[in-house]
Amino acid sequence: MTRPIPPGSTIGILGSGQLGRMIALAARNLGYRIAIFSPEADAPAASVADEEFVADYLDLDRIREFARQVDVVTFEFENVPSVTTRAAAEFAPVRPDGQVLHVTQNRLREKSFLKENSFPTTPWMRVQQPSELQAALAQIGAPGVLKTADFGYDGKGQVKIQRAEEAPAALASFNGQETVYEGFVDFEMELSVVAARTEAGEFKAFPVFENRHAHHILDVTVVPAGISPKLAAQAEELTRGILEKLQVVGVLTVELFVARDGRLLVNELAPRVHNSGHITMDACITCQFEQQVRAICGLPLGSTGLNAPAAAMANLLGDLWAKGAPNWSAVLSDPGVKLHLYGKAEARRGRKMGHMNLAGTDRETVVRTILAQRERVFAGAGVVQLAG
Ligand code: AMP
């Protein structure tokens, strides 16, 4: 067992987006130094890092130089190439390790891992050729979703197939890439469990979050989820099993569907802090970013308990800037609303610019209040509001 990496040490982060920024801010609160590595200069994490390496992830000399200067390496996105984590691991522990990344950065490997270990998913089959597509349609049927095996997030690289006749064109649009065809889940609800595990095997999950998406992008997260304590306990146990099987050191998020028959199905794993976990910044005793720092540094995990009976998080996408900069005084006119912005200069459609959190006494009130506040502030900005 390795010794803890104490405050004062340097944490290296691969990636410099908002997740890296919020990990860095939490790490700073605990007295750590931060080095970031990213191909992009001046990205959200840069202004809160002590040191910035700007180079390609495949520039392995620079990666080694970076890893030599830090005490532990972590990452804020799962698509870091394996050669990069291997080069970094020559000089500093990479947490979670390259094997966790290898499994979770490819849908086929991830789904095979889940299947081999009896974690429940919707039926799926590997598809690359038209003949494999026909076999998958015969076995699984339609509707379904065809997803690229590599590098998909926020609904990118996936096509919903309503009727079998639509499937060949969808497969052709992927130009011979390896894909996964999976049965469409007519879900009751989407959930996520953000959890952490240390090298010593300590495990802690945050309360189960309920997530609502708009256009495949997370829109609103609510805690506690509207599920029974029994189902919440099942979701936590399933998550514990996944982190243990993968021997994760750090935070990993399990995205789940609740099917109409009440079964839990794993949709996806993210070997990192998660957008839904942003709610923990104002809803929990320890936030997901601090938990990530504690886990990768070998410190005891913090309490994941709630600060309030309920809380909601609403994402702020670049679309909201369509008519110019928002009126921040109006955003903050509700004294309970906490605003988190990522320091991105340019607001583009679908770009995550920040989020708002609100804690309160019950689910319905916090969701209604935060959505009304977002609507009021950004009225007319072309926001697509969710039903329900
Ligand atoms: P993913 O990129 O796989 O996380 O998918 C993004 C979102 O698309 C999910 O959060 C769901 O809202 C939806 N989705 C993905 N796969 C399915 C499926 N098999 N059945 C129903 N909805 C899905």
Number of domains the chain is built from: 3
Look up the CATH number of the domain holding residue 165.
Answer: 3.30.1490.20
Question: How far lies 310's CA from each of 190, 220, 288, in Å?
Answer: 17, 13, 17
Residue 131 sits in the same domain as residue 266: no
Q: pLDDT at residue 299 above 50?
A: yes
Residue 200 sits in the same domain as residue 284: yes
**pLDDT reported for residue 383:** 43
**pLDDT reported for residue 216:** 87
Ligand 1 atom showing the smallest separation from residue 157 Cα:
2
Cβ of 17 closer than 6 Å to ligand 1, yes or no, is no
Spatial distance between the Cα atoms of 319 and 350, rounded to a whole number of angstroms: 6
User: Terminal CA-to-CA distance of the chain, rounded, Å?
Assistant: 49
Residue 83 sits in the same domain as residue 144: no
Residue 266 sits in the same domain as residue 357: yes
Whether 237 is in a domain gets the answer yes
- Domain, as residue range, for 51: 10-94
Q: Which of 70, 35, 73, 38 is nearest to 51 (CA)?
A: 35
Look up the CATH number of the domain holding residue 216.
Answer: 3.30.470.20
Q: pLDDT tens, 120-175?
A: 999 999 999 999 999 999 999 999 999 999 976 556 789 999 999 999 999 999 99
Mean pLDDT of 208-222: 95
**Mean pLDDT over the full length of the chain:** 94
Spatial distance between the Cα atoms of 294 and 251, rounded to a whole number of angstroms: 10
Mean pLDDT of 49-68: 98
Whether 267 is in a domain gets the answer yes
Residue 208 sits in the same domain as residue 321: yes
Look up the CATH number of the domain holding residue 61.
Answer: 3.40.50.20
Whether 41 is in a domain gets the answer yes
Ligand 1 atom showing the smallest separation from residue 107 Cα:
3
Residue 191 sits in the same domain as residue 263: yes
Spatial distance between the Cα atoms of 120 and 90, rounded to a whole number of angstroms: 36
Q: pLDDT at residue 302 above 70?
A: yes
Is-above-0.85 flag for pTM?
Answer: yes
Residue 203 sits in the same domain as residue 170: no
Residue 225 sits in the same domain as residue 137: no
Helix (H, G, I), strand (E, B), or coil: what is residue 207? coil
Residue 147 sits in the same domain as residue 213: no
Tokens 């990344």, located at residue: 101
**Mutation to probe ligand 1, out of 156, 216, 219 (largest number of atoms < 8 A from CB):** 216
**Protein residue with its CA nearest to atom 5 in ligand 1:** 155
Cβ of 156 closer than 6 Å to ligand 1, yes or no, is no
φ, ψ for residue 309 (rounded to 5)?
A: -60, -30
Q: Which of 118, 114, 117 is nearest to 106 (CA)?
A: 114
Cβ of 219 closer than 6 Å to ligand 1, yes or no, is no
Q: Are 271 and 102 in contact (CB under 8 A)?
A: no
